Chains A and B, each alone.
Chain A
Amino acid sequence: MSEVLDSYPQLLRGAWVTVQLTVCGAALALVLALLFGLAGASRHAWVRGLNRVYVEFFRGTATLVLLYWFFYALPLVGVRIDSTMVAAVLALGLNVGAYGAEVVRGSLKAVPAAQYEATVALNFSPYQRMRRVVLPQGFALMLPPFGNLLIELMKGTAIVYTVGLADLARVSKDVQGSTGETVAVFSVIPVLYFVIAQVLLLFVRYAERRVDRMLGRRPSRGPSLGTIAAGAPGTEAAG
């Protein structure tokens, strides 16, 4: 056990790679989710079609297969992604972004029609309606499933192990190799992931409380079937 603890600089570096992948992947996923989520709520059928193609395709592929494809197949057709990190962030962001887009679309749809009617009565422009009324309310609905997706993304980062990026999973294998402490390493690593997850969840809860206060709502208790379904890999958003 002590040998494992002695290799803490390595473990910390691995954890840092995992955190970096999570944050960058989440940033990309958020942008894609908003972009394609709004597209899914569009009045134009072809824009909605864009949303469908993106969502169905990237939810349908396994992240690891996508990563392998970026890593092994794409260079052969002349597209070279130089950094493994970039390839991993792309694979994770594109995949989680697809789930996020469904969350955004579902949440916007779940804002009561009366709110929309009120904005028409007040003669808001479509942009104002979205920016001032629909998005802020939809955002509160998005946050809990977004929190679930963030954890999914963090867990997803472990796939970079297979392409040699020195994240927490890779480091665990290396330390196991150098120390031979199989039981200790492979027991400590899940705990480190769990700690990262709990820290991420703290941020999510904080954001949820902020938004709930902004809308003057009481924080909701346990998740309903709807929110679980929305955050589940491969599902529609609530709404």
Chain B
Amino acid sequence: MPPTDTEPGSPTADPRVCEAPGVRFEKVVKRFGSTTVLRELDFTVAPGERVTLIGPSGSGKTTILRLLMTLERPDGGLIWVGDDTLWHMERGGGRVPANQKHLHEMRKRIGMVFQQFNLFPNMNVLRNLTEGPMRVLGLPKDEAVERARGLLDMVGLADRIDAHPSRLSGGQQQRVAIARALAMEPKVLLLDEVTSALDPELVVGVQDLLRDIARESDLTLLCVTHEMTFAKDISDRVMMFDQGQIVEEGPPEQIFGEPSEQRTRDFLQAVLAS
């Protein structure tokens, strides 16, 4: 059952017509060795919905993003992106594990921004942005360059187009990384603690940029962050995780304002104290 058939997870989800696919986890299990990180996790993210995942470290929230980006393989359950399962494909009426080709097709819908930026240090800013569009999407060079220029303009780094990543500040690197992810025109964008590795004074610039993107695009957004104000600004819904389970979820005002669960209150208090 594709997730578009289900109720949007939040009443505040954007009602406008949206071509971005939704995301749905169906009894997803993930183990690392003997520890089970996710046990039969179920949740749905509506098309174009913006969801923030919060929770203590080890609660499985980053694992969710990594499963979606195909960086980790699930040990059980189904992950839907739009009308298709990510890790399985239809074969003769049944489902078989996905092959590389299927994963390649599915990844076209998804983009990710990493905590550590992960820009390619052997390429300048422009190459970082054109590599994917040219090699994967098959864009001609001039089109890829044009797209890169537009995105660098948007992230405010048009003048650093020829710079080497190591010459950029952390905040600038992360803005390039965001532009790089967007250059692939993903429908689902994953943000994994994108400001955690930044010096405090650089956090605001990156957050402002992401706020704009969240406001102006109709991307489905999954965001893991410890910045509660930021989470409040960009998300339609907040999900609180602990030990691989959703403790509670709801609109940001409710989760941050009047959480109903003790574990959420403890977590928020700990985050605010730090």
Q: Check whether chain A touches chain B (CB < 8 angstroms).
A: no
